[in-house]
Structure 1
Amino acid sequence: MTFGVVLPALLLSTSCDRRADVGPVVVSVIGDKPELAVSARRALSLPERVLTDAVAEGLVRFDAAGQIEGGLAERWTVTDDGTSYIFRLRNARWASGQPVRAGEIVTLLKRQLTRSDVAPYLTAISDVVEMTPEVIEVELARPRPDLLKLFAQPELALVRSASAGGAGPLHVVREGRHSLLLRPVVDPDRDPDNAGPTPEDDVRLIGEQAARAIVRFVNKAADLVTGGTIDDWPLVQRAEPAAANIRLDPAAGLFGLAVQRRDGFLADPANRAALSAAFDRAALVAAVSPEWSASEALLPDQLDSLSPPTRPGWATLPREQRLGAIRARVATWRAANGVPALGVALPDSLGGTMLWTRLAADLYAMGVRPVRLAADDPAADLRLIDKVAPYDSARWYLSEACVACSDEARAAIEDARLAPTLDARAATIARADAALTADTAYIPLARPFRWSLVALRLVQWQPNARAWHPLNHLRSDTR
């Protein structure tokens, strides 16, 4: 396996000199050149999400801290029973200069509700209606107190077309071969002095591979590298940027191994539980970063469940005792079936290799023969899930972790989706959490690992649980 990544020797020592606060903020997002995706029936790439969030707003959006702020809506109310959200639109204009009106918002939003990647978590919405040219109502069949965080996702930003774009807060003023120059939209409501943007308010957005982005940053030709995951973390370690520039997000979400095939050694839930118990999570996170947190439970907190996260029965036992249990089970299996082999699907990256080194060592210690497979290999027994949660509902964690879970767990997750009240939803979520943990269809390892390289001029940048950093909240607040 080859990766073809070489970092110049000059990167082995860098200084922490402040990049001058002059000219556009240069942002490298890891991936391909940013393109504006309109009503895509697939998961958007990170560059697509960053660009869409920059040039188009939904009803609401995320601020620098990952909290909700107004987008096209200037304010909103929720009815007492939680089944109606009423949004009053601000005096916004599309990039063409035409005023934003509720009727077009309704049409665009209905399209996004069925085609976006977060659509499976929006099934409680029964209708979106125009009340006046400035007011729309979102009607729900079941209460959803976490709806605004879903509406803040870039997937629900309202784009008229690929050429027409959206309503800001930024717009494209120049396009290069690999980059775009973005400029804040002049909004009379938000900029009553009409001073207009300065050159330092512009953003040059570049889509490129992590190695090139890191080189650009350490050579002080960029202000931000965003979208870093464990895949490319070894490149950061190799480049050794100044510690003050390396920022990790306390990302909420899933980082663990989903059971993809329930046969052979993994057919027995007791074997799956013993396997999960024996992984050395402390050694895994320590090998990557002292700021990375290990996880033993599927849910990070109680969230909207009736009960605290279900802890696996082995959580209080010393690891040596856990390791002894899995070795005994493997010995019994081996006597009848031979050495168990497990295929593990991981990314084809330097970080994937670093992760494989730790996981393979643990599996060998258990008496299991590990086999590394491609991330999308359907023959894999275990597959890495590495996702940041779009909102704070336990149902998202349960649904995403249930790749090949029991019928009982799957039924409880569906009951949670259809629960008519919040109390009923909380109870079924707790039941699903207990069922999925008992089934051990998912092996939690840690929180998602998300890194950025941040120049000191970006005083508005903040780490947050969404690991999301809007381009209008970097150097200054350009809303």
Structure 2
Amino acid sequence: MAYRFCHSRRALVALIPGLVLALASCGADRRGALPVALAGDETAFQTAATRPSPAAQVLRAATVEGLVGFDAQGRVVPAIAERWIVTDDGLSYIFRLRDGTWPDGTPIDAPSVAAALRRARAALAGTALGLDLAPIDEIRVMTDRVVEVDLSAPLPDLLTLLAQPELGLPRTRLGSGPLGLRREGLVASLSPIPPEKRGMPAQDGFSRSVRPLHVEVESMAIAAKRFNDGLVDVALGGTIDSLPLAGTTMLSRGNVQLDPVMGLFGLQVLRAQGFLADPLRREALALAIDRDGLVGAFGIGGWSGTTRLVSPEVPDSDGSVGERWSDSTLDQRRALARQRVLAWMAAGEGAPRLRVAAPDGPGSRLALARIGADFASIGVQIERVDEGQPADLRLVDTVARYTRAAWFLNQLACPVSPAGCSAAGDALAAQARTERDPQARMALLAQAERAVTAANGFIPIARPLRWSLVRSGVTGFSPNPWGWHPLPPLTVVPK
């Protein structure tokens, strides 16, 4: 079955034809709890982790507000900050805080918010998100209800970054909502917290306008089956690893929605030793992959392979970096790659055998089967291992947090991904962060991309895919560019 993927990141809705049939919602009472399945495991409830799992990000965002948050469409909306202004030079963001209290009853004020924001930023040191926030120079208290964030260089995506779940601001380890969570095993009940219990004015009819969520944390395979059986109305968290589940006959009654995301899907070098010590031998692996064949095996119309690290759709690309090896056929690329493998073996080394850390879902198995055949064509064998086991490569499937070249470069920076990284690329990216002239900044970013690409520490294959199952009639859900879906909009009772 061929699926059609809406490729533009601006697309609002992407549906898989042939899998759409209007069904009534499971619950007859629209104010009853909405049953939701969230792909994940026990780590979903480790919401305070510095690197939370995707499911934990969803639960953290629902229960721990930051200065701002996301709506269903992925747009930035007020949260603890009720409004903000940006200075003309783009170097200061001034936030006015809403009236309200923390969970312990103390008022939400600028000193406590600024302190929480500083702690959240410090906890991200050494991570890619920490690098994204590097232009923040100072977080200042201006008045009792005004916080100013000063930058060393313009950061147009600061609001998007501050809306990330990791930038939620807890008080004494408790979040300020907007949802409260009660957990029993891998099942959680999330209920909207009344405004008066958050230190805000009461709202007439609040209890009639919202409903709780009954969230089951489970594998996407189980989530898909429960959706098909009519036991849940929404299943969130589908990835490439679970994508083949959307093609089963069982799901012919469901609504499968794809998010218009950017990001990285490919192989990351974890161990730049042995065969992988040389950038040219790492490039041999990149040369061997039949990207069109791999993405074609999934049957997603409009989904195409790429040899680039940075998405060509980012607004700060100067257009000077294109696809690699566009003047060579696949056979020519593989012939060159095979020569490098044979030269390695001629030096007395055995045939390369590489361990690839990857999930064991149907999508990952399909992708690795194609990659394994491609590598075998040049004399390299691979073996799948579980995450956490010793590995040479890892199958990466990560969605961009914001749509700029810096996100891609920060993911592959030496502090974050040291094996096969480019110190020269890092230096150029750092220089770009401080460059205020837009054209000069784009030129530096292009140079950085070339340097990181030449290091071959990451082998791009395609953009990521994110999908969900949503029953007809469910409101509060919309495909968005970030690939995860806030829970609070789902609590609003449809009119």
TM class, shorter-length? 0.7 to 0.9
Q: Describe the shift of the 1:96–1:397 C-alpha distance in structure 2 as closer, same or farther (beyond 3 A).
A: same
Q: Describe the shift of the 1:436–1:170 C-alpha distance in structure 2 as closer, same or farther (beyond 3 A).
A: same
Number of the residue aligned with 1:75: 83
C-alpha displacement of 1:267: 4.0
1:410 aligns with 2:426: yes
Query: Would the aligned equivalents of 1:214 and 1:239 in 2 still touch at CA under 8 Å?
Result: no
Number of the residue aligned with 2:7: none
Number of the residue aligned with 2:470: 454
Number of the residue aligned with 1:355: 367
Aligned with residue 109 of structure 1, among 106, 117, 133: 117
Number of the residue aligned with 2:4: none
Name stretches of at least 5 consecutive residues in structure 1 with no aligned partner. 1-12
1:147 aligns with 2:158: yes
C-alpha displacement of 1:193: 5.3
Name stretches of at least 5 consecutive residues in structure 2 with no aligned partner. 1-18
Number of the residue aligned with 1:176: 184
d(CA) in 2 for partners of 1:161, 1:206: 27
1:33-432 equivalences in 2 (<5 Å): 34-35=44-45, 37-38=47-48, 40=49, 42-95=50-103, 98-116=106-124, 118-162=129-173, 164-166=174-176, 168-172=177-181, 174-187=182-195, 194-198=204-208, 201-238=211-248, 240-242=250-252, 244-291=254-301, 292-301=303-312, 303=314, 305=316, 307-308=318-319, 310-337=321-348, 338-380=350-392, 382-402=393-413, 403=417, 404-419=420-435, 424-432=440-448
1:29 aligns with 2:41: no
Q: Describe the shift of the 1:372–1:410 C-alpha distance in structure 2 as closer, same or farther (beyond 3 A).
A: same
Q: Which moved more, 1:418-427 or 1:369-378?
A: 418-427
Deviation string for 1:380-437 (max 9, x for gaps)? 1x22221111122212211213432233223323433454665554332221101122
d(CA) in 2 for partners of 1:133, 1:279: 57
d(CA) in 1 for partners of 2:249, 2:379: 37
C-alpha displacement of 1:276: 1.2
Query: Would the aligned equivalents of 2:21 and 2:253 in 1 still touch at CA under 8 Å?
Result: no
C-alpha displacement of 1:463: 1.2
SS of residue in 1 equivalent to 2:230 = coil
C-alpha displacement of 1:368: 2.0
Query: Would the aligned equivalents of 1:296 and 1:444 in 2 still touch at CA under 8 Å?
Result: yes
Deviation string for 1:203-244 (max 9, x for gaps)? 122222333322322221111111122233344444631364
d(CA) in 2 for partners of 1:459, 1:242: 21
C-alpha displacement of 1:305: 4.1
SS of residue in 2 equivalent to 1:18 = coil
Letter in 1 for 2:383: V
SS of residue in 2 equivalent to 1:366 = coil
d(CA) in 2 for partners of 1:309, 1:239: 45
Query: Would the aligned equivalents of 1:106 and 1:130 in 2 still touch at CA under 8 Å?
Result: yes
Deviation string for 1:233-275 (max 9, x for gaps)? 3444446313642122122111111233344444443443343
C-alpha displacement of 1:295: 2.1
d(CA) in 1 for partners of 2:427, 2:141: 36
SS of residue in 2 equivalent to 1:139 = strand
Letter in 2 for 1:452: S
d(CA) in 2 for partners of 1:177, 1:267: 45
Q: Describe the shift of the 1:344–1:55 C-alpha distance in structure 2 as closer, same or farther (beyond 3 A).
A: closer
RMSD across aligned positions (CA) = 3.0
d(CA) in 2 for partners of 1:287, 1:183: 41
Letter in 2 for 1:52: R
d(CA) in 2 for partners of 1:450, 1:260: 25
SS of residue in 2 equivalent to 1:148 = helix
Number of the residue aligned with 2:452: 436
d(CA) in 2 for partners of 1:65, 1:14: 21
1:1-40 equivalences in 2 (<5 Å): 17-21=23-27, 22=29, 23-32=32-41, 34-35=44-45, 37-38=47-48, 40=49
d(CA) in 2 for partners of 1:137, 1:218: 49
d(CA) in 2 for partners of 1:59, 1:146: 14
SS of residue in 2 equivalent to 1:474 = helix
C-alpha displacement of 1:16: 5.9
C-alpha displacement of 1:445: 0.5
C-alpha displacement of 1:86: 0.2
Deviation string for 1:136-183 (max 9, x for gaps)? 111122221111111000111111134x421x22223x4433322222
SS of residue in 2 equivalent to 1:383 = strand
d(CA) in 2 for partners of 1:267, 1:363: 17
SS of residue in 1 equivalent to 2:384 = strand
Q: Describe the shift of the 1:316–1:250 C-alpha distance in structure 2 as closer, same or farther (beyond 3 A).
A: farther
Q: Describe the shift of the 1:239–1:73 C-alpha distance in structure 2 as closer, same or farther (beyond 3 A).
A: farther
Query: Would the aligned equivalents of 1:344 and 1:372 in 2 still touch at CA under 8 Å?
Result: yes
Q: Describe the shift of the 1:342–1:181 C-alpha distance in structure 2 as closer, same or farther (beyond 3 A).
A: closer
C-alpha displacement of 1:131: 1.4
Query: Would the aligned equivalents of 1:304 and 1:426 in 2 still touch at CA under 8 Å?
Result: no
d(CA) in 2 for partners of 1:84, 1:187: 30
d(CA) in 2 for partners of 1:236, 1:161: 42
d(CA) in 2 for partners of 1:126, 1:200: 40
Query: Would the aligned equivalents of 2:20 and 2:253 in 1 still touch at CA under 8 Å?
Result: no
- The percentage of counterpart residues that share the same residue type is 38
What's the TM-score once normalised by structure 1's chain length?
Answer: 0.86
d(CA) in 1 for partners of 2:369, 2:328: 25
Query: Would the aligned equivalents of 1:76 and 1:88 in 2 still touch at CA under 8 Å?
Result: yes
**Count, aligned residues:** 460
Letter in 1 for 2:359: P
Letter in 2 for 1:275: L
Q: Describe the shift of the 1:231–1:193 C-alpha distance in structure 2 as closer, same or farther (beyond 3 A).
A: same
Q: Describe the shift of the 1:326–1:157 C-alpha distance in structure 2 as closer, same or farther (beyond 3 A).
A: same
Query: Would the aligned equivalents of 1:181 and 1:202 in 2 still touch at CA under 8 Å?
Result: yes
C-alpha displacement of 1:100: 2.2
